[in-house]
């Protein structure tokens, strides 16, 4: 995905990686990673959303390249990592939150990094919290955006009808692939279709699932974002991984990431949340803020969910500049 033009005035200039590679993570998984910025600088790892979203070139630009050693990686099954889950019958048994946490720790060690800043938005905020709570000694600071912890009511809000109150036209399109008698459990109904090996079944389901999310990410409509996310192969991969995680509740006990925040309250942190976020409503960021008052809490009044929205991008850059 190409960065929106307005980000040129907010983020650092485009840069290229100085090193790329693949982490042999076991279970047949090859996890793409890259490093950019200053090889001798302050390490930071970027955690993309979804799950299943993958990284983009512009994600490097939240960090001062003269100061930061910037590590990006594509989580299992998406982006440049292989095997890619757009294949007809992907095996997702080895794609869980705890596999990703283990991949991060293996990557940190393989790159010779002692401690690093952890930066994650949307699903990446959940993965950041999970990783930091498992490995607090490896984390220097945490920057979070669009807080998402996969509690049941968070998933039900966006995928079982709550957000339809704000976007009834888009919700009607999301309902389209699902027969009326199955619409009381949309996540499960989509799971059956996304798991189907027939492209005539899983491709329309993948496009509908991903289009619903893409169309609601920003406060103002962004047709380019929707188009980039809803091409069939990319949409199927994104939807399959995301739905797989949601059916399994992220492999968290209910409320785990907020309940266990005591393990990381000593780590300097910034929480950035769009006031009008529909995908991950502010209720979750507020619950995290209440449990973690030491973290700086930034509410962007004219933004929804996407990191590309001007107010959110400014707040995220300010956070990384503060910690450099």
- Known catalytic residue at 36: no
**Marked catalytic residue, from 36, 81, 86, 122:** 122
Tokens describing residue 40: 């001798």
Tokens describing residue 46: 């970027």
Q: Which residues contact 127 (CB under 8 A, 6 or more apart)?
A: 47, 51, 75, 97, 100, 101, 104, 120
**Marked catalytic residue, from 277, 289, 304, 308:** 277
What distance in Å separates the CA atoms of residue 18 and residue 35, rounded to the nearest whole number?
6
Residue 49 near residue 123 (C-beta atoms within 8 A): yes
- Known catalytic residue at 305: yes
Q: Which residues contact 16 (CB under 8 A, 6 or more apart)?
A: 36
- Known catalytic residue at 27: no
What distance in Å separates the CA atoms of residue 12 and residue 266, rounded to the nearest whole number?
29
Phi/psi for 20 (5° steps) reads -135, 160
What three-state secondary structure class fits 289?
helix
Q: Which residues carry out catalysis?
A: 122, 277, 305
């Amino acid at each position: 995905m190409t960065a929106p033009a307005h980000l040129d005035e907010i983020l650092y200039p485009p840069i290229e990686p100085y090193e790329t590679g693949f982490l042999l993570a076991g279970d047949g998984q090859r996890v793409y990673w890259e490093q950019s910025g200053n090889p001798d600088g302050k390490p930071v790892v970027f955690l993309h959303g979804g799950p299943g979203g993958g990284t983009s070139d512009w994600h490097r630009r939240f960090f001062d390249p003269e100061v930061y050693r910037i590590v990006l990686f594509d989580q299992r099954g998406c982006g440049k990592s292989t095997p890619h889950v757009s294949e007809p019958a992907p095996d997702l048994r080895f794609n869980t939150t705890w596999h990703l946490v283990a991949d991060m720790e293996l990557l940190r060690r393989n790159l010779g990094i002692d401690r690093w800043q952890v930066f994650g938005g949307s699903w990446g905020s959940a993965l950041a919290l999970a990783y930091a709570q498992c490995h607090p000694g490896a984390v220097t600071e945490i920057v979070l955006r669009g807080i998402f912890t996969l509690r049941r009511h968070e998933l039900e809000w966006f995928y079982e009808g709550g957000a339809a109150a704000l976007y009834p036209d888009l919700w009607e399109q999301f309902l389209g692939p699902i027969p009326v008698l199955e619409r009381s459990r949309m996540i499960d109904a989509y799971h059956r279709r996304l798991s189907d090996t027939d492209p005539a079944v899983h491709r329309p389901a993948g496009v509908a699932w991903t289009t619903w999310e893409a169309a609601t990410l920003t406060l103002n409509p962004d047709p380019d974002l929707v188009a980039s996310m809803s091409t069939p192969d990319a949409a199927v991969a994104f939807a399959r991984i995301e739905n797989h995680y949601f059916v399994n509740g992220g492999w968290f006990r209910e409320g785990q990431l907020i309940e266990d925040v005591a393990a990381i309250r000593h780590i300097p942190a910034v929480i950035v949340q769009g006031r009008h976020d529909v995908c991950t409503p502010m209720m979750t960021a507020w619950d995290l803020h209440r449990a973690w008052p030491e973290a700086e809490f930034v509410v962007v009044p004219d933004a929804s969910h996407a990191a590309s929205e001007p107010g959110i991008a400014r707040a995220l850059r300010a956070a990384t500049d503060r910690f450099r």
